[in-house]
Every structure is written in structure tokens, then in C-alpha cells.
Structure 1
């Protein structure tokens, strides 16, 4: 999320002091051509795959017959104050989970993705990648080496490897200064290796973006176009974009993120003059767009939703 939210000098000094105390200890605390024209997808919500990491995520309690932890069906967001929240879209409600205390020095959270076990993967502004529990915000370092392929800050999301697949992939978009980006890549979590895929298409070539993925193998980008942001489907095999939609009245501002849940897109944005607002694009019904929660009380810099989240509206 390009430039994201710039911390104040006081915030940076506080984080640096905390990192010196923590040292290196662990924290305590799509298928190609995917469409979004009607938002109605595979009815077998979250029925693909099994939890990858029950230890850090949510544990085996609450795992359903579809292999998904209940916590993995929610949306999660992280604030510029390092607080993790669970977001319940059907109620437009944010519940605090805990404070992140990842040993990242003065770096700040930049983006987030959530896997099927309910584990959040958080990219920090220095390019580091941490695993965070969505149960208590406990943090764990990974062996990922920052800066691979020139990717430091990146937007990120999991998507299954196609409708019916039991596997998922972590996709990332490299972000430069301003509204520029480095195209699409993926990270192999078994080797912690990043490999580039390709740039976006047309007017979105070279743009930065945030990502969200679905349990039926689709991948979407929230692009930093001006004056209004753009939503587009992404071919996960090539990086090519299609079905661009200008989001009138929605700007990426200084902090932005988005997620796909219940057949609709949910955008979290702040222009810096107030805290984040939540905007909903109803692709499951009339395709209208509108603010559902103004000024939530904190600034959201990252959002993640797992491939267990519903792809159709709750009934």
C-alpha cells in the first residue's frame, strides 16, 4: 500500500525503544480470467483445503467439516497503531484482537493477508514478513528475506489455485513511491522465495495495488489511480488485468486496504484528515457503492480475509 500511513517521529521512537527491549525474541503479546460481474460464485463456501498452521492461527477447536477454522471466516484489519481487529461485515463491527509487538524496529505494518488456518501474514514497511495469530495477535518471525525482486512494501492476498482446489497461493504486488508498483508476484511459503509473475494491463500497467482473493480461485486488485481508485480482476497466471471499474468517490488516500466477503467488496480508506471509513461495493446485487461506516476511530493500513470467507451473501 504505497507510502501507506507515515508514522510520527514519536511513534517511530516508541517502536524503536520497544524493539531494543524485545531483541530477537518472539512477540508475546485465482484462476485466470476471474470475473466479478455478478459476485455470485461457487456455493461450496470454504470447502477447499485444510488448515496449514493450527499452532499459530486458531488451533483445531472451531474447525468445521470444510476444514476451515471459524475465525478464518472473518475479515481482519491492522491499524497504524499496531492493533489487530476482527471485522464482521454483516454487522459493520470491529472487535479488537490485540496489539502486535513484532520485532520490526521502527518499521510499521504495511499490508496483511490471512490463510485458511486463521493465521495473518503481515508485511512491514522494511520488507519483513511476520506471522500473527488472529486469536491473540501473538507474532512470530519468518525466514523470508526482505527485498526479493525489489519488493519491499507490497499488497498481498491468498487465493485458492482454482475452484475446487485444496491449495492456496500467497500473491503480492510490489509497491514503489507514489502510485507506482512492480507488478504481480507470488511467495512460496515452503521456501520463503518470491517469484515475479508479470505486470498489469492497459492504464494499470506500472500501478501499485492492494489485493484480495477468494476461495474459488479469483484474484482482484484495488489500484492507486487518481482521482478515483480502480478495481480490476487479475489473471493470477500472467498478471494481466480485466474488467476495470472506476470507484467514483473512493480514493486510496494515505492508508488503504480492501477485502472480498459475502459476494461484495469492502474498501477501507483514509485521506489523512480523519480515521478510516468503510465503503461497500455490492457486486452480489445491484452493484451500488456507498459508505457503510464513516470514521471508524482508527486508521486501517492492512486488511486480510482468508479463502474460507463466504463468496455469497449470508442467508
Structure 2
């Protein structure tokens, strides 16, 4: 879900063309085994609590645990927040006349990348190979948009792809529309208006969140999935202390109980990574100038939800 906006996003700014692992112990995605008593464990004796639909974290593919990033020059990256590792996967070669604008990742670790030609492409997070989907562009006025998968219920293996955007010229103008996409039929439905042009992320606990770089203040907000109303807001304006912040590229993802913001201001050389913990107004700078202009971040609903 927000994501760089991206070329279309700032009429006033010339986008810069910027240059361009290890696993944590106690991995919450370690495949589960059945104990003698019939309950599931993580292989080390620690019980795994089944989700409401009977599934567990072990039903997720291993690749679905991480955050995936795409930049304006088609680079696909894997970001592992617990170790800080940033790994290049490959370069997208989609059958597109445009460049990446936003991205979402499903529970199978398949990435869906919206390009600024208004089309969605299916991308492998293993080798960055890319194919077209049958998504018809510009449905219900959604030309460009942020996007993110959200679990339908807390712990559920079922998920929905949410989007927020509208006409291309309106991106970054302070207003957009929240909607959803049925990835079976690739049809779009509208939910309601939101103030700002957010990138979206979802959680395995069925929460929808957005990063609003053009809000007043710049904020992270939880959105009601049925009405688009703001439920909770966290002020993150310290990310860009400019008198008039001018976002040039942004992306957003939830992982391990925290929110990760990928942000590049108009005068930044490349994207920086920032972290926000729910219940805190403190914004941590994880890394500055990573060498990429990140325009999309995708994380599946398999990502850990407990604070790590």
C-alpha cells in the first residue's frame, strides 16, 4: 500500500532517478507439528493457538512472512524488519508501458503491483518474474491507488484487497476514495471517501491501516473497513519537519506489531525507513537513504502481529 507517488503525485516536483539475511531465532512461522495430545506446537513444544477458522500461522508459506518493496526503477526487494536485512530479489520486466506505483502481497507471497499505466501485474517474490492480470483499469474512477490485503476476521486465512485512490491528477491532493477489489473477478467496489492519499496495509487481526503523507498532520490511521471512517490516528509529522512537507514517494507496511513507513521527501536523496509503535507518538528512524526510491510495500496477513 503508498507508494510513491510518485511521479503523478507531485506536480510541483521533479522526481529524482535514484540509484540504486538472516532469519530470527524463534521464528513464529516455523512449521507446526502435532503433539501427542493432538494440539499443535511450533516444533519446539510451544503450543500454537488455532485461528477462528481453524488455521494457524504454520499454514502460511515461509516467504509470506516478510515485507516486500518495489522501487520506481523496477527493483524488487525483501525487507526483514527484525534483522534490518534488505535483499535484492530481481528486476521487474512486466509487459507494461509504465512503472510501479503501489504493491500488495497475498498469503501465498504473490505480489500484485499497480503500475502508472493503471494496470495490475502479478509478480513472483522469488525471482521477480511478472505477468499481466485481467484487471480492467479505471473501474469506478480508480486510476491510481494504494493497496493492501487485510484478513477478513482476526486470524482468518481469508483476506480482502483494499485500495484507496482515484483519478491520477488527484493523487496527493488531499482526498481519495476507499474501495476493495475482488481478486477472483478483478472487480472494484467503492466504500467511502477518505481525507488524503494513503498507502494501505492490513494485519492478520483484520485491521486496515493507512499512512497519510498529505494529511494535516502527516499521520498513520486505522480505517473502518465498511465506512472508511478514521478509528485511530497517530501523528507522524516528525518524519518530515519541513515547514511544508512535500512527499515525493511513500510506502507503508505492518510487521511484528509495528508500522513501517518508507518515505522520501522532495529533497531526500532516496527513501528512508521509519517505525511507529501503536500507543506511542515516537517515530523511530530505522535507516536513512537506502539507495532506492520506494513506491510500493507489500506484506501479507501472515506477518507476525505480536510486538517484536
TM-score (ref. length: structure 2):
0.78
Matches within 5 A, 1:1-315: 1=2, 4-6=5-7, 66-105=58-97, 107-175=98-166, 176-200=170-194, 204=195, 207-226=196-215, 228-251=217-240, 253-273=247-267, 274-283=269-278, 288-314=282-308
User: In angstroms, what is the RMSD of aligned CA positions?
Assistant: 2.7
1:216–1:10 Cα change, 3 Å? closer
Conserved in 2, the CA contact under 8 Å of 1:48 and 1:66?
no
| Structure 1 unaligned residues grouped into runs of 5+ | 12-42, 52-63
Conserved in 2, the CA contact under 8 Å of 1:50 and 1:117?
no
Q: How far apart are 1:166 and its partner, in Å?
A: 2.6
Q: How far apart are 1:88 and its partner, in Å?
A: 0.5
Structure 1, 180-189 or 253-262: larger mean CA deviation:
180-189
**Per-residue CA distance 1:30-75 (angstroms, 9 max, x = gap):** xxxxxxxxxxxxx969958899xxxxxxxxxxxx972111110000
Conserved in 2, the CA contact under 8 Å of 1:173 and 1:181?
no
Determine the structure 1 residue equivalent to 2:31: none
1:65–1:308 Cα change, 3 Å? closer
**Per-residue CA distance 1:196-249 (angstroms, 9 max, x = gap):** 01123xxx3xx2111000011000011133564111111111111122222122
Measured in 2, the distance between the counterparts of 1:157 and 1:227 equals 23
Conserved in 2, the CA contact under 8 Å of 1:84 and 1:97?
yes
Measured in 1, the distance between the counterparts of 2:94 and 2:296 equals 15
Measured in 1, the distance between the counterparts of 2:289 and 2:4 equals 21
Measured in 1, the distance between the counterparts of 2:183 and 2:238 equals 37
Conserved in 2, the CA contact under 8 Å of 1:2 and 1:208?
no
Conserved in 1, the CA contact under 8 Å of 2:4 and 2:251?
no
Q: How far apart are 1:2 and its partner, in Å?
A: 7.6
Conserved in 2, the CA contact under 8 Å of 1:47 and 1:67?
no
Q: How far apart are 1:6 and its partner, in Å?
A: 2.7
| Structure 2 unaligned residues grouped into runs of 5+ | 9-13, 18-46, 241-245
**Per-residue CA distance 1:53-107 (angstroms, 9 max, x = gap):** xxxxxxxxxxx972111110000000111000000111222100010000111x1
Q: How far apart are 1:286 and its partner, in Å?
A: 5.2
1:243–1:10 Cα change, 3 Å? closer
Conserved in 1, the CA contact under 8 Å of 2:51 and 2:154?
no
Conserved in 2, the CA contact under 8 Å of 1:49 and 1:66?
no
Conserved in 2, the CA contact under 8 Å of 1:151 and 1:182?
no
